[in-house]
Amino acid sequence: MKTRQTLLYSGLLIGVTLLYTLIVYPRLPDRMPIHWNIRGEVDGWGDKRWAAFLGIGMMALILGLMHVLPLLSRRPFRVESFRETYNFITFILVSLFGYIQMMALRGGLHPDSDISRPLIAGLLLFFAVIGNVMGKVRRNEWVGVRTPWTLKSDFVWIATHRLAGRLMVATGLGGAIGIWAGLPIMLCFVPFLVGMFYPVLYSYLLYRKRRENGWEE
From 113, 144, 174, give the residue that closes a domain: 113
User: Residue 137 sits in which domain range?
Assistant: 114-217
Whether residue 42 is found in the same domain as residue 99: yes
H-helix segments, the chain: 3-24, 48-51, 54-68, 83-109, 116-131, 148-152, 154-180, 185-212
Per-residue pLDDT of 5-49, as tens digits, reads: 999 999 999 999 999 999 999 999 998 877 777 666 777 788 889
Listed residues 113, 145, 176: the one ending a domain: 113
With cut-offs at 50, 70 and 90, classify the pLDDT of residue 217.
low
The tally of domains found in the chain comes to 2
Span 93-112, average pLDDT: 92
52 and 71 in a single domain? The answer is: yes
Verify that 96 and 153 share a domain, yes or no: no
Mark whether 129 and 106 lie in a shared domain: no
- Indicate whether 69 and 144 sit together in one domain: no
User: What is the percent of the chain with per-residue pLDDT over 90, rounded to a whole number?
Assistant: 77
pTM greater than 0.85 (yes/no): yes
